[in-house]
């Protein structure tokens, strides 16, 4: 049973380009969380999705950022018109349910560098 | 909003015990997790404690929870160089969406 798969592991974008980060949850998991880790900081929650639904996007910046988790395929975190401040590691986690007692498994992360 | 505080750095000698402390503000957190992050890697779940417990032991790891003071600690016995990493305390948020609230992380340096 493969773990949470994120790709690409490293992504370099020029300012103004779009970044698309992919996350395939563990088999049997229908809940996906995206977190951002800025250099020298902890992880900050961005968005929580279930299949085809956004459950909680309270941590998402209001502009340029969007996320989806379609019925088929991976979850996508999309950042439009990237700026240098978007440079960070983006982690995806998945869980079987969304309850308190469910363990979340993390992917290896995508390290985005905006030049 | 919810907040989690950890000391940023801890240095110990190999074979000693390490104690990493964490304080949090959300008193309704029911599960409190400890994650380990090695350089350039994702997060690995180490252990967790349910809020109605005071202590949980798992091999070299001991978690202590003082719910009244909202204080959580992770003790690593017989610390090894392979334990060098960043350790994150992460209570489960009270909103029942399952999201984790992370502290800044404690960098543990183990000297041979």
CA torsion sign, A67 to A69 to A73 to A75?
A: positive
Cβ <8 Å between B97 and A56: yes
Q: Is the pLDDT of residue B40 over 90?
A: no
Q: Is the pLDDT of residue A102 over 80?
A: no
| Residues above pLDDT 70, as percent of chain B | 95
The conformation of residue B92, written as its DSSP 8-state character, comes to B
Q: Kindly state whether B95 is in contact with chain A, defined as any CB-CB distance less than 8 angstroms.
A: yes
CA–CA gap between residue A102 and residue A104 (Å, rounded):
6
Q: Summarize the confidence of residues B25-54 as an average pLDDT.
A: 87
Q: Summarize the confidence of residues A79-108 as an average pLDDT.
A: 89
Q: Is the pLDDT of residue A1 over 60?
A: no
Q: Is the pLDDT of residue B46 over 90?
A: yes
Strand order through the sheet with B31-37: B9-13, B106-111, B85-91, B31-37, B43-50
Least confident span in A82-91, A98-107, B40-49: A98-107
Q: Mean pLDDT score of chain A, rounded to an integer?
A: 92
- B41: pLDDT confidence band, cut at 50, 70 and 90? confident
Cβ <8 Å between A48 and B92: no
Q: Kindly state whether A106 is in contact with chain B, defined as any CB-CB distance less than 8 angstroms.
A: yes
Least confident span in B8-12, B20-24, B27-31: B27-31
């Amino acid at each position: 049973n493969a773990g949470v798969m994120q790709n690409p592991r490293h992504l370099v974008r020029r300012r103004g380009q779009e970044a698309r980060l992919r996350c395939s949850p563990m088999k049997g998991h229908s809940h996906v969380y995206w977190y951002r880790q800025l250099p020298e900081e902890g992880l900050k929650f961005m968005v929580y999705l279930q299949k085809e639904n956004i459950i909680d996007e309270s941590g998402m910046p209001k502009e340029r950022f969007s996320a989806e988790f379609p019925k088929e395929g991976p979850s996508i975190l999309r950042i439009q018109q990237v700026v240098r401040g978007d440079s960070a590691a983006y982690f995806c986690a998945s869980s079987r349910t969304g309850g308190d007692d469910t363990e979340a498994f993390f992917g290896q992360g995508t390290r985005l560098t905006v030049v | 909003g919810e907040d989690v505080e950890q000391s940023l750095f801890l240095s110990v000698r190999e074979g000693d015990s390490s104690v990493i402390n964490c304080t949090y503000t959300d008193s309704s957190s029911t599960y409190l997790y400890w994650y380990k992050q090695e350089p350039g890697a994702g997060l690995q779940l180490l252990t967790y404690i349910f809020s109605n417990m005071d202590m949980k032991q798992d091999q070299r790891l001991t978690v202590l929870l003082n719910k009244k003071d909202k204080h959580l600690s992770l003790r690593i016995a017989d610390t090894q160089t392979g334990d060098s990493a960043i350790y994150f305390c992460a209570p489960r948020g009270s909103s029942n969406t399952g999201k984790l609230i992370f502290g800044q992380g404690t960098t543990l340096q183990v000297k041979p």
